[in-house]
Amino acid sequence: MSVSAVGRPTRPENEAAPAGHGHGLTQDEPLIFELGGWDKTGVDLPDEAAPLNDLADLTRNGLRLPGLSEPEAVRHYVRLSQKNHAIDLALYPLGSCTMKHNPRLDEKLARLAGFADLHPLQPIATVQGALELMEALAHWLKTLTGMPAVALSPRAGAHGELCGLLAIRAAHEARGDARKSVLAPTSAHGTNPATAALAGYQVIEIAQTADGRVDLADLAAKLHDDVAAVMVTNPNTCGLFEREVLEVARLTHQAGAYFYCDGANFNAIVGRVRPGDLGVDAMHINLHKTFSTPHGGGGPGAGPVVLSEALAPYAPTPWLTHGPKGFDLTEHPAGEAAASLGRLSAFHGQMGMYVRALAYMMSHGADGLRQVAEDAVLNANYIKARLGGELSLAFPEGPCMHEALFDDDWLAGSGVTTLDFAKALIDEGFHPMTMYFPLVVHGAMLIEPTETEPRRELDRFCDAVLELAAAVRAGDVERFKGAPFRAPLRRLDETLAARKPRLAWTPQP
């Protein structure tokens, strides 16, 4: 037996396990298509062979998909789950993503039959509680943002951006003012330009100052009467508050444009600052960020958009109203809603997310939400302070908001890239930070801890980063180039995946 320096036998740990076995508590797991079960099903159904005469030539020619018994299915997906990192496992410092704790109360309430087992087109009289909940959510969102109106239906942040820009387009069009472009800083999240383009606008980039804010001179220079909107994220994607936001709004309005605020980072200021006080005309709120509906490995989320008086008439249908007979929905652009930009998607939005977000807001209350912002900002500044000495801060001056941004200056010449460094963090038990975003910062590392991290976890994380930083300085390049070593898989070949896309399993020939 060969024993390594720290007394751990090195075998058989560093031998690959025989194919198809587990290792300790981690199980290998093939695809469902490799588990057999082509002719079986894990759902017991009554025997009911209906005659198909009405559908004679309309029926399909078989459907080859495997069915698993419940024990197999449960095991399969539990094993897969073992291969994921999650906020419930450790700090998840993905900047711009606000990976905060997801309360289990919210999950429970969203599953109440009175919410989950409601059809979207039941008679209005039978869904008064659901509309009441939407109304309550709207009230909280409007009050927290200081804005007069809100469109709940957008299904995620990007959908909210679209909603906002389409409202802006409708407002311009209503005045017969067909503007063609949207201004947005280079640091903007990819959805901003993508949405603007989708909404039929040309995207013009605004420069950024050396201290990471919108360059007012450049903005003023580019603002003209063809500009429909200025899109600014605030706090911005560098984790900084746009100090001159009032001026941005003033210039924008002066040019006859609308001020769209990307509210993805609202978590940093909730309860302390109201976007309505900053001259904002439209702002989406990612309920799955600030209001903690779970990210779910990619979604679903919800992206309600608060709107100024000027834009409110153009809000998408359905409109939620309150009359003598209780709550009601105006589902088509007509009457009061005649100017509406129309429908963004079927039905009335992400009810399941509304329940969770409202439960979250009520739990925190006005006092708790203010504390959320304070703790989120404090945690980020703590990380900034603890790491700032070793890593290079993109904007060292002044405090950051909810996230701390580093560049790769400090890695220069080390042979270690931002990507390598991030992957090495996996070996220490943490999810990497957001990398290479925002684009304005070279080799960016954007760290957002959120307010739900205890100090102990922040320290654990900072210790790990500092220890890795020391390894970089010590020239231990292999620790980074080969990383991760301790994850379920080693580094994946993304180029191969893109070169020969295999998007579905196919039987081995």
Partner 1 sequence: MRYLPLTADDRAQMLAVVGAAKLEELFVDVPAAARLPGLIDLPRHAGELEVERALTAMAGRNRAAGAGPFFCGAGAYRHHVPASVDHLIQRSEFLTSYTPYQPEIAQGTLQALFEFQTQVAALTGLPAANASMYDGSTACAEAVMMAARVTRKRRAILSGGVHPHYDEAAHTLAHSAGIETVRLPAAIDGEAAVLEAIDADTACVVVQTPNVFGQVTDITAIAAAARAAGALTIVVTTEAVAFGLLKSAGEMGADIAVAEGASIGVGLNFGGPYVGLFACREALIRQMPGRLCGETVDAAGQRGFVLTLSTREQHIRRDKATSNICTNAGLCALAFTIHMSLLGGTGLGALARINHARARRLRDALAAIDGVEVLTARFFNELAIRLPKPASEVVGALAAGGILAGVPFSRLDPEAGFDDVLLLAATEMTTDQDIAALQGALEAELGR
Ligand X SMILES: Cc1ncc(COP(=O)(O)O)c(C=O)c1O
Binding site for ligand X (CB under 6 A): 96-97, 156-158, 189, 191, 233, 237, 262, 264, 286, 301, 303
Residue 22's binding partner, choosing from ligand X, partner 1, a copy of itself, none, with beta-carbon cut-off 5 to 8 A by kind? a copy of itself
CB of 111 to ligand X, least distance (A): 23
Question: Please, what's the largest Cα pairwise distance for the chain?
Answer: 83
Task: Measure the CA–CA gap between 428 and 380, rounded to whole angstroms.
Answer: 20
| Contact pattern from residue 369 through residue 408 relative to a copy of itself, giving x for each residue in contact according to CB under 8 A and a dash for the rest | ----------------------------------------
The interface partner of residue 118, options being a copy of itself, partner 1, ligand X, none and the CB cut-off 5 to 8 Å by kind, is partner 1
Determine, following the binding rule CB under 8 A, whether residue 277 of this chain makes contact with a copy of itself. no
Please identify which residue in 141, 430, 443, 458 interacts with a copy of itself, judged by CB under 8 A: 430
Helix (H, G, I), strand (E, B) or coil at 230: strand
- 17 is a contact residue toward a copy of itself (CB under 8 A): yes
Distance between CA atoms of residues 328 and 318, nearest Å: 10
Please state the closest distance from residue 509 (CB atom) to a copy of itself, in A. Answer: 22
**Residue 262 binding result from a copy of itself, partner 1, ligand X, none, given CB thresholds of 5 to 8 Å by partner type:** ligand X
Site membership for a copy of itself, residue 452 (CB under 8 A): yes
CA 503 and chain centroid, separation: 24
Rounded CA separation 347/317 (Å): 9
Taking the C-alpha atoms of 423, 427, 430 and 431 in order, what is their torsion angle to the nearest 10 degrees?
30
Do 240 and 212 meet the contact criterion of CB atoms below 8 Å apart? yes
What is the rounded distance in angstroms from the CA atom of residue 332 to the CA atom of residue 416?
57
What is the distance of C-alpha 188 from the center of its chain? 14
In sequence order, the 6+-apart residues with CB closer than 8 A to the CB of 381 are 399, 400, 404
User: Quick check: 473 binds a copy of itself (CB under 8 A)?
Assistant: no
46 binds a copy of itself (CB under 8 A): no
**Taking the alpha carbons of 295, 299, 304, 305 in that order, is the dihedral positive or negative?**
positive
Distances (CA, A) of 304 to 100, 113, 146: 19, 24, 14
Please state the closest distance from residue 186 (CB atom) to partner 1, in A.
Answer: 10
Nearer to partner 1, 235 or 471 (CB): 235
Residue type, 367: D
What is the rounded CA–CA span in Å between residue 234 and residue 261?
A: 7
CB of 459 to ligand X, least distance (A): 26
Cβ-based nearer residue to a copy of itself, 26 or 186: 26
With 0-12 / 13-18 / 19 or more C-beta atoms within 10 angstroms meaning exposed / middle / buried, residue 40 is exposed
**Residue window 244-263: x/- pattern of binding to a copy of itself, with contact defined by CB under 8 A:** --------------------
| Residue 104 binds to a copy of itself (criterion: CB under 8 A) | yes
By beta-carbon proximity to partner 1, the closer residue of 298 and 413 is 298
Query: Are the beta carbons of 125 and 374 closer than 8 angstroms?
Result: no
Residue 237 binds: one of ligand X, partner 1, a copy of itself, none (C-beta under 5 to 8 A by kind): ligand X
Nearer to a copy of itself, 40 or 224 (CB): 40
Nearer to a copy of itself, 226 or 427 (CB): 427
Cα dihedral 273, 277, 283, 287 sign: positive
The nearer residue to a copy of itself, 36 or 342, going by C-beta atoms, is 36
- What is the sign of the dihedral through the CA atoms of 402, 408, 409 and 414? positive
Distance of closest approach, residue 435 Cβ to a copy of itself, in angstroms: 19
345 DSSP assignment? S
Q: Which residue is nearest to ligand X (CB)?
A: 157
CB of 167 to ligand X, least distance (A): 17
Binding site for a copy of itself (CB under 8 A): 1, 4-6, 8-18, 20-28, 35-36, 44, 69-72, 74-75, 78-79, 82-86, 88-90, 100-101, 103-104, 363, 426-430, 452-454, 456-457, 460, 463-464, 467, 478-479, 482, 484-488
